[in-house]
Amino acid sequence: MHLFRRHFLLYVFKIFDLMVMAFSFAMASWVISLQYPLIKFSRPLSIQVRLENLIFFLILLFLWHIIFGLFGLYRSMLFSSRWVEIKGVVKAASEGTMVVLTEAFLFRIKIITPMFLVVFWVASNIISLLGRFVMRHFLTQMRIYGRNLRFVLIVGTNKRVPQFAQSIESKKGTWLSNHWPCRGRLAWDKRFSRIGVSSHQQF
């Protein structure tokens, strides 16, 4: 069941990123139509799409999906800071914007101007980051109420064991301690050939 929820969440993230790209493209087109009144907003989004324009957009969707995957935005970020996620989104959106510029040159899409690229880059970054922050907050709230939890048993006796346990416990109420509550450590005593389990409160 947990595996199904994880795959479903990844699927939602991928669809969301593609929708962000399409919405950012539409927003940039709208801004360009305001800057140049001769270009109607309905023209770049016309239903009567030429084959080359359709190919352009499909390639853009595919490459956008690949880029976000290559930057690790669909991997688990439980042990990553929020700043790491922000940098990943900004880098991926920047690469995606460069792809738009390259395709515009190859397909000779005149509506894609420097202003278009700026609006597209800003919109895709803001919406992608907001969507991820909202999702992370939602999942954190679920874990606070005891949903989707994983308990941690740390095996070892060296100095890093209590340090790692304390690093989790020091983040009470955050996404890390809510998802991975530390319950104890497992240590092997060679002198007495026994296994001992100690509570994390004893660290």
Give the tokens for residue 7: 């795959």
CA 183 from chain centre, in angstroms, equals 29
74 by DSSP, 3-state: which? coil
Do 36 and 72 share a domain, yes or no? yes
**Predicted model pTM:** 0.72
Host domain of residue 197: 152-202
Do 90 and 159 share a domain, yes or no? no
Give the tokens for residue 54: 């359709």
Main-chain phi, psi angles of 38, to 5 degrees: -70, -20
Do 135 and 157 share a domain, yes or no? no
Do 53 and 82 share a domain, yes or no? yes
Do 106 and 173 share a domain, yes or no? no
Do 46 and 134 share a domain, yes or no? yes
- CA atoms lying within 13 Å on the CB side of residue 28: 23
Distance separating alpha carbons of residues 51 and 39, to the nearest angstrom: 21
Tens of pLDDT, residue by residue, the chain (203 residues): 567 777 888 899 899 999 999 999 999 988 988 877 655 555 554 444 577 778 888 999 999 999 999 998 888 776 677 888 899 999 999 999 999 999 888 888 888 899 999 999 999 999 999 999 998 888 777 766 666 666 666 676 677 777 777 766 665 544 444 444 555 555 444 443 444 444 444 43
